[in-house]
Every structure is written in structure tokens, then in C-alpha cells.
């Protein structure tokens, strides 16, 4: 099979992903072999490539995978050959520790990420345990379903963890693939949404999707925010957001790594008044299982920009430069 492989940590500008031929993967016990048709491109892949979240090397990146099952491993019974499934960031967890038993498998110390600890979707095929694959609702095309598996499902988790309630004000800092799905869920739940982002195009898209106000980072929104979610890679967003967070409000950091440090926080001005800061780590199967049918019901149809598999470096560079329109998706050759 054709795959884009990462062999060493490098800035994306050096085009470190190389097209190679790899042997077709073989499904082990209770695994399925998936012929991939589309795989989403995610900021996390930039973090992996550039060493902020080092993967095992060499690695096939990609964790927003949609394809069809072509072979079942021994004892695999959940799906049938020909079924259309998705694979997300959670590739496996131990299933036995107290985090796993309490439904917090995202915090399991044996958590393995797709396209990080196990080969992922920048390829024509992959294998995964049948317990970590999801049926894709029929109303979605393959490419438009891919961002639902990371940007969407993690955005859903961000929203749940933000504790936002109907009628409250939600602030979104940054407006990329995840935020443009989050705003649609929040509107569906009856929240008022303010968006703060540098890009004028993103502010316009936010308004189109229902934001009642959109401004630049550092601007003061018309009301204080009951909850806020930070999708930006920069540390400065944290004090900005805390300044406009309502008393008792919660601020959720949705990124895995910040590109630069969070500036010192003035406790009396920014944190007192029972403000909370929470991060989001990984994702559980339940998040994906709950979110996919919700996305079909609302419905959330992500805007995607498609690339060929061999254009993965260029797609990631556009993402780094903030020039991606909607979510980037790689199309696999037949």
C-alpha cells in the first residue's frame, strides 16, 4: 500500500513526510482491516511532526479515518466486510485500570493514539481493534465525516467539560476545524456564542454559523463569558480569556501543546472569583459514539478542503499558516 511516512522530527516546511510502499497490514485477533478512502488533517499531526508531541518513529500519521472493512481478523464479529467505519484518536487503552473502568479511558496510562503509537490513516489501509471503530451515519460523505472523528468529537468533549448550560454565553478563542463544529452544537443547545480570532475570514465564517459577535483576540466581547474554550496554539490567549470570563466561569484549554509559554497569571485579577481552568486530554469511545449520531441529527456538515495523499506536507503547511478553509482532508488513491 501507499503511505506517507514520518521518519524524523522536523519543521513541516522541510516536507518531512515521504511517500513509500508498505506491506498491507494484516488484521490480528479481533481486529479489522480497513481500506481507507479519506483521512482528516489535524493540528496534532503538526505537533507530532515538529516534536511537541513526539510519536513512535517511523510512523504513519492520521487519526480521522474513514473507510470500508475489507477483512476481519480471527474472532472479529462486530462488523461485516464492506461496512463503512471511522477510526479516531483513541486507538486502545488497557481496559482494566481505574480510569478505564470509570469511563475515563482517555486518561489511561496505557492510552495509545492512532497515528502516534500505532500506524494511522495517511495510507491506503490500516488495522484497528473492532472495539475502537465506529459506524459512520449514512448522511455523511466519507470526506465530510473525517473531521467529525477528531475536531468534532473532541469539540463535543470540550463543550461537555466546559459545563455550558442552555442560554449561557460561550466564548470560542480561535476558529479552526474544531470550533466551527462546536459553534453548531452550542447553537443547537440554545447558547449565545462569541468568537475571538485573528483572521477576518474566520470571523465572517463564525457569524455565518451563528456567532452573535466576533472580534479579535484582546477585544472585549459585549458580555462576560460563562464558559470559554481555547483552541489557539499561543499562551497569551489564557490571560485574555480569563479577563473576560464571568465569575464562577470555566475556561477549557482544548489544545494538546501551546507553541509558547502561558504568561504569568495575576491571581487576584484573573483567577479569583471561583474561576476554573481545565484541560482536555485525548478522547473516549463514548465521546465519538455520542457525537456521531448528534452530528447527523443537528445536522453538522463540515466544510472540507480536499488534498491528494501525496500533498500531505502542503496541507499541513497551510494548516500551520492558518490558511486552511474548513477542515483539511486527504483523499486516498484507489
Distance in Å, CB of 108 to Zn ion, minimum? 3
Shorter beta-carbon distance to Zn ion: residue 72 or 151: 151
Give the CA diameter of the chain. Answer: 60
Shorter beta-carbon distance to Zn ion: residue 55 or 249: 55
Report 280-319 residues binding Zn ion (CB under 5 A): none
Shorter beta-carbon distance to Zn ion: residue 66 or 100: 100
Distance in Å, CB of 42 to Zn ion, minimum? 3
Shorter beta-carbon distance to Zn ion: residue 159 or 242: 159
Q: Is the peptide bond before 191 cis (omega within 30 degrees of 0)?
A: no
The CA–CA distances, whole Å, from 200 to 110, 174, 203, 327 equal 41, 11, 5, 17
Shorter beta-carbon distance to Zn ion: residue 27 or 147: 147
Distance CA 29, CA 16 (A): 33
Distance in Å, CB of 93 to Zn ion, minimum? 5
CB atoms within 10 A of CB 226: 22
Distance in Å, CB of 221 to Zn ion, minimum? 27
User: Of the ranges 20-28, 40-48, 205-213, 323-331, which one interacts with Zn ion (CB under 5 A)?
Assistant: 40-48
Half-sphere exposure of 115 (CA within 13 A, CB side): 28
User: Of the ranges 20-28, 95-103, 231-239, 313-321, which one interacts with Zn ion (CB under 5 A)?
Assistant: 95-103
User: Of the ranges 97-105, 204-212, 213-221, 297-305, which one interacts with Zn ion (CB under 5 A)?
Assistant: 97-105
Shorter beta-carbon distance to Zn ion: residue 195 or 288: 288
Distance in Å, CB of 265 to Zn ion, minimum? 27
User: DSSP string covering 54-82, please?
Assistant: PPPSSB-----EEEEEEEEPTT--SS-TT
Distance CA 309, CA 36 (A): 11
Shorter beta-carbon distance to Zn ion: residue 226 or 232: 232
Which of 88, 150, 254, 330 forms a contact with Zn ion (CB under 5 A)?
150
Which of 94, 107, 135, 161 forms a contact with Zn ion (CB under 5 A)?
94
Phi/psi region, residue 86 (left: phi>0; alpha: psi -120 to 50; beta: rest), is: beta
Q: Is the peptide bond before 242 cis (omega within 30 degrees of 0)?
A: no
Report 103-122 residues binding Zn ion (CB under 5 A): 108
Report 177-206 residues binding Zn ion (CB under 5 A): none
- Residue 100 interacting with Zn ion (CB under 5 A): yes
Report which DSSP code applies to 128: E
Grid cell in block for residue 301? 456538515
Which of 42, 164, 181, 319 forms a contact with Zn ion (CB under 5 A)?
42
Q: Which residues contact 326 (CB under 8 A, 6 or more apart)?
A: 147, 177, 180, 302, 303, 304, 305
Shorter beta-carbon distance to Zn ion: residue 182 or 245: 182
- Which sign does the torsion angle of CA 278, 284, 286, 288 carry? positive
Distance CA 264, CA 245 (A): 17
Shorter beta-carbon distance to Zn ion: residue 3 or 41: 41
Distance CA 238, CA 198 (A): 15
Distance in Å, CB of 223 to Zn ion, minimum? 31
CA angle 109, 156, 276 (to 5 degrees): 75
- Residue 97 interacting with Zn ion (CB under 5 A): yes
Distance in Å, CB of 73 to Zn ion, minimum? 22
Which residue ranges make up the site for Zn ion (CB under 5 A)? 42, 44, 93-94, 97, 100, 108, 150
Amino acid at each position: 500500500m501507499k503511505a506517507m511516512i514520518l521518519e524524523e522530527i522536523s519543521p513541516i516546511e522541510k516536507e518531512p513526510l515521504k511517500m513509500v510502499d508498505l506491506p498491507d497490514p494484516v488484521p490480528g485477533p479481533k481486529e479489522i482491516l480497513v481500506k481507507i478512502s479519506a483521512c482528516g488533517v489535524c493540528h496534532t499531526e503538526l505537533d507530532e511532526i515538529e516534536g511537541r508531541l513526539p510519536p513512535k518513529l517511523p510512523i504513519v500519521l492520521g487519526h480521522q479515518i474513514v473507510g470500508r472493512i475489507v477483512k476481519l481478523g480471527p474472532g472479529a464479529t462486530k462488523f461485516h466486510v464492506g461496512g463503512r467505519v471511522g477510526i479516531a484518536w483513541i486507538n486502545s487503552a488497557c481496559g482494566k485500570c481505574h480510569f478505564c473502568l470509570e469511563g475515563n479511558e482517555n486518561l489511561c496510562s496505557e492510552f495509545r493514539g492512532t497515528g502516534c503509537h500505532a500506524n494511522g490513516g495517511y495510507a491506503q489501509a490500516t488495522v484497528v481493534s473492532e472495539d475502537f471503530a465506529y459506524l459512520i451515519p449514512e448522511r455523511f460523505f466519507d470526506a465530510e465525516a473525517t473531521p467529525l472523528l477528531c475536531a468534532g468529537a473532541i469539540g463535543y468533549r470540550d463543550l461537555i467539560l466546559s459545563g455550558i448550560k442552555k442560554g449561557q454565553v460561550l466564548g470560542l478563542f480561535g476558529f479552526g476545524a474544531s470550533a466551527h463544529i462546536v459553534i453548531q452544537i452550542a447553537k443547537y443547545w440554545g447558547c449565545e456564542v462569541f468568537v475571538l480570532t485573528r483572521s477576518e475570514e474566520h470571523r465572517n465564517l463564525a457569524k455565518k454559523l451563528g456567532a452573535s459577535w466576533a472580534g479579535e483576540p484582546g477585544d472585549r466581547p459585549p458580555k462576560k463569558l460563562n464558559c470559554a474554550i481555547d483552541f489557539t496554539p499561543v499562551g497569551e490567549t489564557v490571560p485574555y480569556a480569563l479577563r473576560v470570563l464571568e465569575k464562577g466561569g470555566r475556561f477549557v484549554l482544548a489544545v494538546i501543546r501551546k507553541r509558547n509559554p502561558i504568561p504569568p497569571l495575576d491571581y487576584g485579577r484573573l483567577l479569583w472569583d471561583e474561576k476554573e481552568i481545565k484541560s482536555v486530554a485525548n478522547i473516549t469511545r463514548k465521546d465519538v459514539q455520542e457525537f456521531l449520531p448528534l452530528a447527523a441529527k443537528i445536522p453538522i456538515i463540515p466544510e472540507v478542503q480536499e488534498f491528494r495523499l501525496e500533498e500531505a506536507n502542503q496541507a499541513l503547511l497551510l494548516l500551520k499558516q492558518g490558511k486552511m478553509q474548513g477542515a483539511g482532508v486527504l483523499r486516498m488513491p484507489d
